[in-house]
Amino acid sequence: MAVGNAHFEPKSRTKREMSLHAQKRGCQRGIPLGSATLVVAFGEPEHDNRGGIRYLMTDKALDNLRRVVGNSQKVEALAGVYAVVSATDSTIITVAHRH
């Protein structure tokens, strides 16, 4: 059984583009740069009504990620993290914690 986000379609096998804004906000908010790609791959998508798609790490998304990589503190740190991706060019616009 394939585990992941059914709505996630990788554009290539290379690293996903992150905007400068996303890199800065990730550092400010304590979210490692590589985590944004996991959030997009496993998070639950929803439209943000601003031209982007928000991928949120819900309990269900975390369970799927745990099945693939195992349970760790790094996985648990992603609880409530979301990434906003541009609908036009698939660039990660920002990352943050849901409050």
Q: Tell me if 15 is assigned to some domain.
A: no
pLDDT tens track, the chain, 99 positions: 455 565 555 544 435 688 999 999 999 999 988 899 899 999 999 998 888 999 999 999 999 999 999 888 989 999 999 999 998 888 999 999 987
How far apart (Å, rounded) are the C-alpha atoms in residues 13 and 46? 24
Classify burial at 83, counting beta carbons within 10 Å of its beta carbon; exposed 0-12, middle 13-18, buried 19 or more.
Answer: buried
Give me the domain span that covers residue 28. Answer: 20-97
Q: Tell me if 58 is assigned to some domain.
A: yes
pTM value is 0.79
**Total domain count for the chain?**
1
